[in-house]
Amino acid sequence: MNAQPIVLRTSKEIEVRFSEVDSMNIVWHGSYALYFEDAREAFGAEYGLGYLDIARNGYYAPLVELKFNYKSPLIYGNKARARVTFRDTDAAKILFDYEIRDERDEIVIATGHSAQVFLDKEYRLVWGNPPFYEEWKRKMGLR
Q: Residue 5's pLDDT is what? A: 84
Q: Residue 50's pLDDT is what? A: 96
Q: Residue 4's pLDDT is what? A: 77
By three-state DSSP, how is residue 53 classified? Answer: helix
Q: Residue 128's pLDDT is what? A: 96
How is the beta sheet containing 63-70 ordered, strand by strand? Answer: 9-15, 79-87, 93-102, 108-117, 63-70
C-alpha closest to that of 81 among 103, 97, 111: 103
**Residues 85, 94: Cα–Cα separation, whole Å:** 11
Half-sphere exposure of 107 (CA within 13 A, CB side): 11
Q: Residue 1's pLDDT is what? A: 52
Each residue's pLDDT expressed in tens, for the chain with a length of 143 residues: 556 789 999 999 999 999 999 999 999 999 999 999 999 999 999 999 999 999 999 999 999 999 999 999 999 999 999 999 999 999 999 999 999 999 999 999 999 999 999 999 999 999 999 999 999 999 999 98
* Domain extent listing, the chain: 9-139
Dihedral of CA atoms 128, 122, 116, 91 in degrees, nearest 10, equals -10
**Residues 24, 35: Cα–Cα separation, whole Å:** 19
- At the top level of CATH, the class of 9-139 is alpha beta
Long-range contacts of 100-103 (CB under 8 A, 24+ apart): 100/14, 100/32, 100/35, 100/74, 102/72, 102/74, 102/78, 103/13, 103/78, 103/79
Q: Residue 2's pLDDT is what? A: 58
72 contacts 108 by C-beta, under 8 angstroms? yes
Q: Residue 8's pLDDT is what? A: 97
